[in-house]
Amino acid sequence: MPDYMQEIERISNFLRKVLGGKNAVIGISGGIDSSVTLALLTRSIEKEKIIAVFMPDRNTPQADYDDVKQLTEKLGVTYRQVRIDPMVDSFVNTLAASDRAAIGNIKSRMRMIVLYYFANTNNGMVVGTTNRTELLLGYFTKYGDGGCDVEPIEHLYKRDIYELARILDIPESIIAKKPTAGLWEGQTDEGEIGMTYAQMDDILADIFDRGTFTDKLEYKKIMEMHSRSDHKRTLPYSLKK
């Protein structure tokens, strides 16, 4: 088990060094990953240098609005709200899009575009919120929530994020919330994958930390997800050396 206080200090130093005086642009959702990352940023740089952006759509529940407000007030950070419906609708209508997963990816990429707009116009860098569990499973949108300049929690499993959340005093309503990417109504991470994060973390730690693999269906499913998403963890395929 990591020394979480030491880990908080290590991440804070990392962010301070990488940002190098630039502003930090972060998308916040009322979820645990972005909440922990925002709290870590407040320990790393001046709060005035943090540009937090909440990007709801018509499917965003009221609880997310409430949690974003409570979190930012608690951390002393101001945030901007940008509704992405008009942008997403424009793409969906132009493409006559009907595939739910594809439309979900459009939403994620719209949020990336918004964040880079604020980074471009405010001498900023986009700070990502992907954790190690999501990274190894490929459970993120390429050039969507995977599009950023720095990933401060990418080395930590989801269970570590929960531990950090408690230490950082993240509101309980956020900690207790079912994780979701907010890509369509009723979508949850665990429901989509078919396992709890506790199960996923145990299997991933077995495979990638301890080198243990079994013929259980759950292990095979995890490895299939990892293999299928390999392209997300590498640079574009090319012939360059």
Sequence-separated (6 or more) residues with CB below 8 Å from residue 75: 38, 39, 42, 47
Rg (CA), the chain: 18
The domains found in the chain, sorted by start residue, are 4-191 (3.40.50.620)
Under the banding of pLDDT at 50, 70 and 90, the label for residue 188 is confident
Encode pLDDT of 1-43 as tens digits. 679 999 999 999 999 999 999 999 999 999 999 999 999 999 9
Residue 14's pLDDT is: 98
The answer to whether the predicted template modeling score (pTM) of the entire model surpasses 0.85 is yes
Residues 194-209, mean pLDDT to the nearest whole number: 94
> Which sign does the torsion angle of CA 118, 120, 125, 130 carry?
positive
Residue 237's pLDDT is: 84
Tell the burial category of 121 from Cβ atoms under 10 Å away from its Cβ (0-12, 13-18, 19+).
exposed
- C-alpha to C-alpha distances, 163 to 35, 104, 213, nearest whole angstrom: 13, 29, 26
Residue 178's pLDDT is: 87
The answer to whether 183 touches 55, Cβ cutoff 8 Å, is: no
- Does the pLDDT value for residue 202 go beyond 90? yes
H-helix or E-strand spanning residue 120: helix 100-121
Distance between first and last Cα of the chain: 39
Encode pLDDT of 43-74 as tens digits. 999 999 999 999 999 999 999 999 999 999 99
Could you give the percent of the chain with pLDDT greater than 70? 99
β-pairing, 50-54 with 23-28?
parallel
Residue 115's pLDDT is: 98
Residue 71's pLDDT is: 98
Encode pLDDT of 88-135 as tens digits. 999 999 999 999 999 999 999 999 999 999 999 999 999 999 999 999
- Does the pLDDT value for residue 139 go beyond 80? yes
